[in-house]
A and B are shown apart, each in its own frame.
Chain A
Amino acid sequence: DAGVTQSPTHLIKTRGQQVTLRCSPKSGHDTVSWYQQALGQGPQFIFQYYEEEERQRGNFPDRFSGHQFPNYSSELNVNALLLGDSALYLCASSLSFGTGRETQYFGPGTRLLVL
């Protein structure tokens, strides 16, 4: 049973560039959430996708956008990169029964460094 997978594992970009991160959910899961984890901090919720729509968004600027595909995989796009966007980006998948009650399972993350 494949778990959550993410690509790439590491990425180096320069300020002002754009980046796309990818996530495939755990088999049978239909919901994908994205989190940003700065060094030494807990993960912060970016947004969640369900049925190819953004269902909820955290306190992140519009530079952060996403997409969910019919096969439930997802992309996170960040435009106009800032130094402060350097972080570990975690994708989590779950099976949607309703709000809050689903356990989210995380992938290995993508480490983004912005120079």
Chain B
Amino acid sequence: AQKVTQAQTEISVVEKEDVTLDCVYETRDTTYYLFWYKQPPSGELVFLIRRNSFDEQNEISGRYSWNFQKSTSSFNFTITASQVVDSAVYFCALSEATDYKLSFGAGTTVTVRA
């Protein structure tokens, strides 16, 4: 069974600091897909990034970057120069190639103080 663990429950930073969110996953599939979603207080889950298991190149998109390490089953996400609007709950999710569902971690609450 697939499983996603987000060990950090809450992170609090001051504006302009970098924030790194940890995600560790378990799967038996060799092909799978990893996602990060953001959930502001309004409740809507907003898609941020995805990574396919067969592509280990790490990328940067604006203030977001991610570090995918298949050897340690980790998919960490970094927000550079955080802003107050980044305050939200962030979820890591996994989908296997043999499956249709997303399996989510418990989420990490990020609070950015001005």
Bound Cα distance from A56 to B95, whole angstroms: 13
Name the residue on A nearest B97 (C-beta): A100
A48 beta carbon closer than 8 Å to chain B: yes
Asked if A41 and B35 sit within 8 Å, CB to CB, the answer is no
With A42-B91, A56-B101, A111-B43 in contact, do A100 and B96 touch (Cβ < 8 Å)? yes
Given A42-B106, A106-B37: A99 in contact with B43 (beta carbons within 8 A): no
Query: Which residues of B are found within 8 Å of A15, using beta-carbon distances?
Result: none
Q: Are B47 and A103 in contact (CB under 8 A)?
A: yes
The answer on a CB contact under 8 Å between A45 and B33 is no
Q: Is B99 an interface residue (CB 8 A)?
A: yes
Check B102 against A104 for contact (C-beta < 8 Å). yes
- Give the contact-size bracket for chain A: 20 to 34
B44 touches A109 (CB 8 A): yes
Shortest CB–CB separation between residue A3 and chain B, in angstroms?
A: 9
CB distance from B90 to the nearest CB of A (A): 11
Give, as a whole number of angstroms, the nearest-CB distance from B51 to chain A: 11
Alpha-carbon separation in the docked complex, A92 to B37 (Å) = 12
**Is B44 a contact partner of A103 (Cβ separation < 8 A)?**
no
In whole angstroms, how far apart are the Cα atoms of A108 and B47 in the complex?
Answer: 12
Q: In the complex, which of the residues B43, B98, B101 contacts A109, with contact meaning CB atoms closer than 8 Å? A: B43
Q: CB within 8 Å of A: which of B63-114?
A: 91, 93, 95-107
A109 proximity list for chain B (CB < 8 A): 43-44
Q: Is A86 an interface residue, CB under 8 A from the partner?
A: no
Residues of B with C-beta under 8 A to A44: 104
Query: Is the CB of B61 closer than 8 A to any CB of chain A?
Result: no
Can you spell out 19 A-B residue pairs with CB atoms less than 8 angstroms apart? A35-B102, A41-B106, A42-B107, A43-B91, A55-B100, A56-B100, A56-B101, A99-B96, A99-B97, A100-B31, A100-B95, A101-B97, A103-B47, A103-B50, A105-B47, A106-B46, A106-B47, A108-B43, A109-B43
A42-B104, A43-B104, A103-B35 known; 18 new pairs, CB 8 Å cut-off, are A33-B102, A35-B102, A41-B106, A42-B4, A42-B105, A42-B106, A45-B103, A48-B101, A88-B43, A99-B100, A100-B95, A100-B100, A103-B47, A106-B47, A107-B44, A108-B42, A108-B43, A109-B44
